[in-house]
Amino acid sequence: MALRVLAHLEPGAKVREIVAAEAHWLDVRFCAEDDDATFYRELPHAEVLWHVLRPVSATDLAAGQRLRLVQKLGSGVNTIAVADATDRGIAVANMPGANAASVAEGAVLLMLAALRRLPALDRATRAGRGWPTDPSLGETVRDIGGCTVGLVGYGNVAKQVAAIVAAMGATVLHTSTGDDRHPGWRPLPTLLAASDIVSLHVPLTDATHHLLDREALALLRPEAVLVNTARGPIIDEGALIEALRSGRLAAAGLDVFATEPVGADNPLLALENVVLTPHVTWYTADTMRRYLATAIDNCRRLADGRALAHVVNGVGGSGSPPTGDYPTK
CA gyration radius, the chain: 21
Average pLDDT, the chain: 94
> Helices then strands (H, E): number in the chain?
12, 11
List residues with catalytic annotation.
231, 260, 279
Contact 162, 191 (CB under 8 A): no
Say if residue 20 is exposed, middle or buried (CB neighbours under 10 Å; 0-12, 13-18, 19+): exposed
So what's the pLDDT on residue 327? 62
**Would you list the domain boundaries of the chain?**
3-96+284-304, 100-276
149 beta partners: 172, 197
H-state helical runs in the chain: 13-20, 36-42, 58-63, 82-87, 100-115, 118-126, 137-140, 156-167, 188-194, 214-217, 237-246, 285-304
Contact 216, 193 (CB under 8 A): no
Q: Going by C-beta distance under 8 Å and a sequence separation of 6 or more, which residues neighbour residue 191?
A: 150, 152, 173, 174, 175, 198
Reported pTM: 0.88
- Per DSSP, 274 falls in state E
pLDDT of residue 321 exceeding 60, the answer is no
Instruction: Kindly state the average pLDDT of the residues 129-158.
Output: 93
Name the architecture of domain 3-96+284-304. 3-Layer(aba) Sandwich (3.40)
DSSP 310-329: SBSS-SSBS-------S---
Q: Angle between the 100-115 and 118-126 helix axes, to the nearest 10 degrees? A: 60
So what's the pLDDT on residue 275? 97
So what's the pLDDT on residue 326? 55
So what's the pLDDT on residue 181? 86
308 beta partners: 317
So what's the pLDDT on residue 316? 80
Q: What is the largest CA-CA distance in the chain?
A: 69
3-state secondary structure at position 175 = strand
b/e 222-248 (16+ beta carbons within 10 angstroms → b): eebbbbbbbbbbbbbbebbbebbeeeb
Instruction: Kindly state the average pLDDT of the residues 269-281.
Output: 96
Instruction: Kindly state the average pLDDT of the residues 97-125.
Output: 95
Where does the pLDDT of residue 318 fall: very low under 50, low under 70, confident under 90, or very high at 90 and above?
A: low
Q: For residue range 16-51, what is the model confidence (pLDDT) as tens digits?
A: 999 999 999 999 999 999 999 999 999 999 999 999
Where does the pLDDT of residue 317 fall: very low under 50, low under 70, confident under 90, or very high at 90 and above?
A: low
Percent of the chain with pLDDT over 90: 89
**Is 100-276 in the same CATH topology as 3-96+284-304?**
yes
Q: For residue range 235-259, what is the model confidence (pLDDT) as tens digits?
A: 999 999 999 999 999 999 999 999 9
Which CATH code, of 3.40.50.720, 1.10.3720.10, 1.10.10.10, 3.40.50.2300, is assigned to 100-276? 3.40.50.720
Q: For residue range 204-229, what is the model confidence (pLDDT) as tens digits?
A: 999 999 999 999 999 999 999 999 99
SS3 content of the chain, % helix, strand, coil (to 5): 35, 15, 45
C-alpha to C-alpha distances, 235 to 27, 241, 261, 307, nearest whole angstrom: 40, 10, 16, 37
Q: How far apart are CA 129 and CA 121, in angstroms?
A: 9
C-alpha to C-alpha distances, 36 to 54, 60, 280, nearest whole angstrom: 10, 11, 22
pLDDT of residue 324 exceeding 50, the answer is no
